[in-house]
Chains A and B, each alone.
Chain A
Amino acid sequence: MGLIARHAEAAGIPTLCMGSALDILQAVYPPRAAFLDYLLGHTTGKPSEPELQRAILLEALEAFSSLSQPGQIKHLPFRWAEDDGWKDGVMNDGDTRTPRRDTPQYQTEADRILVEQNDPEACEVCETAA
């Protein structure tokens, strides 16, 4: 995402890149960043907690005002849990990724059927890179 942030910023669009992996944010070094020290897969909050999600985005968006130098990272004032013990187990359990397949990986069978019934050319929002 850092490459996309840099590209858009260079083209004249101010960007804010969020992230829950501080070392990766530091490596890709985007123009503006907001770090949320949460379990991966929750970059903008916890599920079904709209007030928390709103508070997180408000703190993140504030970085558009408070960050004044390229490459700065705002640390957001939220913690995943009182105890940071969850961090010990992260990424220590072998490869949890799913096998790579070059066919669409639908969340549900109904999604697949819906697309196969449609003419893909007719789907206005199915924009795909060349």
Chain B
Amino acid sequence: MQKPPVDYIKRITANYAALGYKTYQWVHNEDTPPWTPLTKPLSECRLGLIASGGIYVTGQVAFHTKDDFSFRAIPKDVATSDLRTAHFAYDQTDARRDPNVVFPIDTLRRLEAEGVIGELAEHAFTFMGGIYSTRKVRESLAPQLTEQLKAERVDVALLVPV
């Protein structure tokens, strides 16, 4: 049987209210988003990946679960078996079995080899989503990640939240 998409905001708000918790405030943008047109085919683009599933590489400091808004740079040639997750808010069982479900590194390396994308950027960037402070994202994380994408000279960015 087919059902409409899950109404997460309504359900999570009700769920937390019943527990007496502070409500997570999703950003609600009303204004039309900015737009940069693509000027060449994807097969000629360097693609940057940003993912918020709390991915880190063994040897890196893991994310902590209290208002962490730091990020990690993951080399594009990382061994998939060295990838780990640390996140407070989603079931990480499948992500720990196969990180590609929230961090499509093997998939993108394959699309690079197939020529679907021109090139994968030298590093992907990861953080732990569910940051309560939109100010920290707006004033710190978003500008820093944009700087990283620019330093990697990416033509397009793929963003993968959880």
Contact = CB atoms under 8 A, between A and B. Distances in A.
Interface string B43-75: 000001010110001111111111111111111
A32 B144 CA distance: 21
B111 A123 contact: no
Contacts of A7: 138, 142-143, 145-146
A110 B19 CA distance: 35
B2 A84 contact: yes
Contact of A105 (B33, B64, B157): B64
Nearest to B98: A47
Contacts, number: 303
Given A24-B9, A31-B34, A101-B64, A4 B145 contact: yes
Contact of B8 (A17, A23, A28, A42): A23
Contact-residue bracket for chain A: 35 or more
Contact of B88 (A24, A57, A97): A97
A92 B134 CA distance: 26
B111 A57 contact: yes
Contact of A16 (B26, B123, B158): B158
Contacts of A90: 6, 8, 11
A3 B142 contact: yes
A72 to B, nearest CB: 10
29 contacts: A1-B50, A3-B142, A9-B35, A11-B150, A15-B156, A16-B156, A18-B160, A19-B161, A27-B9, A30-B33, A30-B159, A40-B90, A41-B53, A42-B101, A42-B102, A43-B101, A44-B107, A46-B94, A48-B98, A53-B106, A53-B107, A57-B111, A95-B16, A115-B61, A123-B60, A125-B60, A125-B75, A125-B123, A127-B71
7 shortest interchain CB distances as A-B pairs: A47-B98, A7-B142, A84-B3, A104-B62, A1-B161, A107-B84, A22-B5
Interface of A: 1-19, 21-24, 27-31, 35, 37, 40-48, 50, 53-54, 57-58, 60-61, 64-65, 69-71, 79, 83-85, 87-88, 90-92, 94-108, 110-112, 114-115, 118, 120, 123, 125-130
